[in-house]
Structure 1
Amino acid sequence: MPDTAHATAPTITAAEMEARIVRYGDLQPCKTAFIDAHTPGSNQKENFTIIGGGVSESADQHVHITIPHGFNIGAAGQPPKCRNSLHSHRTAEVFFVLSGRWRFFWGRWGNAGEVVLEEGDIINIPTGIFRGFENIGTDYGMIMAVLGGDDAGGGVIWAPQVIEDAADHGLVLGENGKLYDSKKGQSLPEGVKPMPVLTEEQLKDYPEPTAADVIPRHVARYWDMVAMAGKKPALVIGETGMLPDRPGFEVGFVTRDSATEEMHQHDVPSVLMPMRGHWKVRWPSGEATLAPGDTMSVPENLPHSAVPSMTGHASLFHVVSTADPAGPTWKG
């Protein structure tokens, strides 16, 4: 994964780098991000857009870092029994569980297959299938997300029943990708039609893979990644990764034993996302400490290293874009 080719290294101060760090405690949620924001069972979820424009349908969504990375970083926070409605994306959607216990399910009606993920587990959900997720833990939970492409595939494709249920609770999605809330006195502007509901013929293009189809190739368990990392960082998602795929980015996994003080660099921006423990990130002109839930954007061509700064178990996810197109990844 590291690109060791030497290019002119940028000079960046600790203050400038801090502007590229989104602290967990500074995350700004949006509770009106999607069409199911009023639908019972989904109306308590919070959406976070950390890097890139994301796929929010609401003008209320705050974007922390707008620098293009070739992918988007986001998060979803939900109390127990809250779910995210069935939807699909045209590009990759990867989640790792930062906290809580989560059930991911998929298919036209959400009953084709499912898997339960614990803290640290990661799932690379195949594109082109309807998927949803819910917090089945006992406390507020958070999942971190990586979406393929700078524009994240142009938005969300909702299962027909989600659009129909939302209309019953005052929310309409325009064909322009924007939400209109009748509870706020809003209506579709003149000339803007509602987002069309997929026809039965169009729905035939959405596969219904079973759990046996999805889990082996698309789910990695936390302690399996820890074992794989060993003395060398593990490639979790990538052409030769634990979950072989080319979604437009690679996801690596680093532990205390596989971390090194030796600096490396990439010719594109990369992202560091601690899962466990505190991490000291160093570059030629400064250093910063990251905690679980923090997200750090490292500039292209900047030599840097990341090592745990305290004793105890430590792990970190590392994301970097590749030259692969951020297109469909499901291979049925």
Structure 2
Amino acid sequence: MTPQDMEARIVRYGELKPCKTAFIDAHTPGSDQKENFTIIGGGVSESPDQHVHISIPHGFNIGAAGQPPKCRNSLHSHRTAEVFFVLSGRWRFFWGRWGDAGEVVLEEGDIFNIPTGIFRGFENIGTDYGMIMAILGGDDAGGGVIWAPQVIEEAAGHGLVLSEEGKLYDTKQGQSLPDGIGPMPLLTDDELTAYPEPTTADVVPNYVARYWDVVALADKAPAKVIGENGMLRDKPGFEVDLITRASASEAMHQHNRPSVLMPVTGHWKVDWEGGETVLAPGDTMSVPEGLPHRAKPSMTGEAALYHIVGTDDPAGLTWMPT
């Protein structure tokens, strides 16, 4: 594969195209400054304005959220796995019907495999603009987002209406639901009982991996972060490894499906049969299936990257501890 062909499968941090109207809370005070990015796959955006950088199916989606300090993403749920790692900033994740069942604060490099089927939100509690990278299970990411009822109700007061088909309409821009199409129905009290309210003690030990803990495990071989035998034991349709300077291999290798490289720290030289490139934190690279390649730090200093590859497991519910 030529460098020119491979460049079409690389999304540089500085080339990310944000969407500020991706979801129903786009006009809600406190959430109206967030930026959403769809990097690989169709994502779950409710807006036709969302730009998709790479549409090649991988068995999962890659996205990102960028937010200034004190900006939050409203309470929502997914039908498939949602995994975040912090690229920059300091973030508070919270969950439950009203967002008060539990919470955790994540720093740069920390990774959170949020349990499927609970309402979750997050906010930037740092002092600068921050970015979190996301992995969503399945090529269609479970068919979209399920919002807590109060989010839909509050959004209506700011002009945004979500159709039953999952598309946004801005009444302040003169838009209205098409004939024959109704608004997204609110979850009933009976339906809401199906959404668990796990505590912080339930969630953090089983679903959060701290960056420096994972780095310590990657001293000789890549650390399995998410997978059947991973630190966060799960089978959500993809696996996540962390590779560091100590565990990067000189050997070329390949996968039988597309894989993704996402640096967290340091600069990484990736070479393959036909070319080479350098990735920096915030860059995302999709490596074609069957292509021999390798990644090594290209400079001195700390260096780590997350590696994601799909599996044959269905993109269903995350594993729940017993």
**Residue matched to 1:251:** 240
Question: Which among 50, 57, 60 is matched to residue 49 of structure 2?
Answer: 60
State how far apart, in whole Å, the 2-side matches of 1:219 and 1:90 are.
19
Q: Do structure 1's residue 89 and structure 2's residue 78 form an aligned pair?
A: yes
Whether contact under 8 Å (1:52, 1:150) holds in the other structure is yes
**Residue matched to 2:39:** 50
How far does residue 329 in structure 1 lie from its aligned partner after superposition? 1.2
TM-score (normalizing by structure 1): 0.96
Q: Do structure 1's residue 265 and structure 2's residue 254 form an aligned pair?
A: yes
Q: Do structure 1's residue 127 and structure 2's residue 116 form an aligned pair?
A: yes
State how far apart, in whole Å, the 1-side matches of 2:292 and 2:118 are.
39
How far does residue 330 in structure 1 lie from its aligned partner after superposition? 4.9
State how far apart, in whole Å, the 1-side matches of 2:148 and 2:293 are.
43
| 2:184 aligned counterpart, secondary structure | coil
State how far apart, in whole Å, the 1-side matches of 2:307 and 2:102 are.
28
Q: Do structure 1's residue 316 and structure 2's residue 313 form an aligned pair?
A: no
| 1:207 aligned counterpart, secondary structure | coil
Q: Do structure 1's residue 21 and structure 2's residue 10 form an aligned pair?
A: yes
Q: Which amino acid aligns with 2:217?
A: M
State how far apart, in whole Å, the 2-side matches of 1:55 and 1:22 are.
19
How far does residue 305 in structure 1 lie from its aligned partner after superposition? 0.2
Q: Do structure 1's residue 215 and structure 2's residue 204 form an aligned pair?
A: yes
Mapping of residues 288-299 of structure 1, within 5 Å: 288-299=277-288
**Residue matched to 1:306:** 295
Q: Which amino acid aligns with 2:233?
A: P
State how far apart, in whole Å, the 2-side matches of 1:35 and 1:132 are.
14
- Aligned-residue CA RMSD (Å): 0.6
State how far apart, in whole Å, the 2-side matches of 1:88 and 1:121 are.
21
Residues 252-276 of structure 1: per-residue CA shift (max 9 Å, x gap): 0000010011011000000000000
Whether contact under 8 Å (2:233, 2:319) holds in the other structure is no
Q: Which amino acid aligns with 1:154?
A: G
How far does residue 331 in structure 1 lie from its aligned partner after superposition? 2.1
State how far apart, in whole Å, the 2-side matches of 1:216 and 1:316 are.
22
**Residue matched to 1:8:** none
| 1:124 aligned counterpart, secondary structure | strand
Whether contact under 8 Å (1:171, 1:180) holds in the other structure is yes
State how far apart, in whole Å, the 1-side matches of 2:192 and 2:269 are.
48
Residues 58-89 of structure 1: per-residue CA shift (max 9 Å, x gap): 00000000000000000000000000000000
Q: Runs of 5+ in structure 1 lacking a partner?
A: 1-11
| 2:307 aligned counterpart, secondary structure | strand
| 1:114 aligned counterpart, secondary structure | strand
State how far apart, in whole Å, the 2-side matches of 1:253 and 1:226 are.
7
Moved over 4 A (4+): none
Question: Which among 188, 196, 200 is matched to residue 189 of structure 2?
Answer: 200
**Residue matched to 2:21:** 32
Q: Which amino acid aligns with 2:19?
A: C
How far does residue 39 in structure 1 lie from its aligned partner after superposition? 0.4
How far does residue 183 in structure 1 lie from its aligned partner after superposition? 1.2
Whether contact under 8 Å (1:246, 1:329) holds in the other structure is yes
Whether contact under 8 Å (1:128, 1:330) holds in the other structure is no
Q: Runs of 5+ in structure 2 lacking a partner?
A: none
